[in-house]
Structure 1
Amino acid sequence: MRVLYFAWLRQKIGLAEEEVAPPESVRDVASLIDFLAARSPGHAEAFANRAVVRCAVNQDFAGPDAPVHAGDEVAFFPPVTGG
């Protein structure tokens, strides 16, 4: 699974992207976040306030209950505003 990080999430984690192989118990975005938050202090800090983290799975916006699978591309980013 390819995980991408944008903006301040990338800064806190120290990576723009990483390949991960979560356990089979990771079946949705929420459980993926739990798995990622345990990887390092930077990951934990990035996901400390999940209410301000947005996600896309295979380039489609996704909520916490959206399924994830091996081979997916999952991106995490702050809320996007426009003008």
Structure 2
Amino acid sequence: MDILYFAWVRERIGVPREWVETSATTVAALVEELRGREDRYAAAFADLSALRVALDQELSDFDASLNGVREVAFFPPMTGG
């Protein structure tokens, strides 16, 4: 599946996107897999309350299923101006 990282998440991980083969069935399980890869992922996903997730460009929750999902995007909360 295609994983996209935005803003400081991208800066901590060091890439804007990557293709990931995963057996995770939920976003939370995917995050745990990513955290275990390297310290840079652990740092990016250290505080999930500071992150939002979108599945196939729809805002979602970390307990959401990844069944049929092609794209996961992680980003900080947005503020208006």
Structure 1 length normalisation: TM-score? Answer: 0.91
Q: Is it true that 1:77 corresponds to 2:79 in the alignment?
A: no
In structure 1, stretches of 5+ residues that fail to align are none
Superposition CA RMSD, Å: 1.2
Q: What displacement does 1:40 show?
A: 1.2
Secondary structure of the 1:12 match is: helix
In structure 2, stretches of 5+ residues that fail to align are none
Extract structure 1 runs of 4+ deviating beyond 4 A.
Answer: none
- Matched-pair identity in %: 43
Structure 2 length normalisation: TM-score? Answer: 0.94
Secondary structure of the 2:31 match is: helix
**Counterpart of 2:35 in structure 1: which amino acid?**
A
Q: Is it true that 1:15 corresponds to 2:15 in the alignment?
A: yes
Say how many residue pairs are matched. Answer: 81
Q: What displacement does 1:69 show?
A: 3.6
Q: Distance in 1 between matches of 2:59 and 2:34?
A: 19
Q: Distance in 1 between matches of 2:28 and 2:69?
A: 17
